[in-house]
Amino acid sequence: MPYLVSFHLGWLIGSLLLGFCMGWISVVQRGNGTSKVAARWFAVLAAGLLAASLAHVVPGRFGYWLDLGLIMFACYLVGCTIGAWLRHRVVARTAPPAAV
């Protein structure tokens, strides 16, 4: 893991930034997003891939690509969370005078 992070640091920061932007947008975006069912299926898929990665069942280069994809996805999620949370703080601070 530390090896993967240090070797692909640029790409992971990229994923993080991408996530940050996506999170930033998601707070104020209107619309319904994905359905709960789709989200659950997606979560199951992600968990399955994670399990496959930890169990080292995928051989060779595919295994490496899977690990890389998962770690980039994790960074993306972290970025999204930070972005969404920060945007939420910004929105919350500017919203109260309008409500008064």
Partner 1 sequence: MQKLFSWASKWWPGLIPLAVMWGFAAWNNTLPVEADLSARSSAALKDTVLDKTRITVDGRDVSLAADAFSEEGRRDAVMAVETVPGVRLVDDRTRLVPEAKPFVWNAERDVVRVTLSGSAPLPSMKARLTEAARKEVGGVEVADRMGLARGAPPRFEAAAMLLLDQIGKLKDGKITITDTKVNLSGMARELGGREAIAAALKNLPEGFSIAANEIKAPPYIFQAYKDPVAATVTLTGYVPDNNVHAAIATSASRKFTEKAVDNLKASIGAPGSFNTAVIAALGALSRLSTGTLVVSDREVKLSGDALYEGAANEIRAGLGKDFPKNWQYKPEITVKPAAGPVDGTVCQQLFSELLTKSKIRFANKRADIDPDSVGILDRLIETALRCPTTNVEVVGHTDGDGEDAFNQALSEKRAQAVIDYLVKAGLPASRFTAVGHGSTQPVAGNDTDEGKAQNRRIEFLVR
Residues contributing to the site for partner 1 (CB under 8 A) = 2-4, 7-8, 11, 14-15, 18-19, 21-23, 25-27, 29, 31-34, 39, 42, 56, 59-65, 67-69, 72-73, 76-77, 80-81, 84, 88
Query: In this structure, are residues 75 and 17 in contact, taking their beta carbons and an 8 Å threshold?
Result: no
Q: Cβ of residue 98: shortest distance to partner 1, in angstroms?
A: 19
Q: Cβ of residue 90: shortest distance to partner 1, in angstroms?
A: 14
Among the listed residues 77, 79, 67, 78, the one whose alpha carbon sits nearest the alpha carbon of residue 5? 67
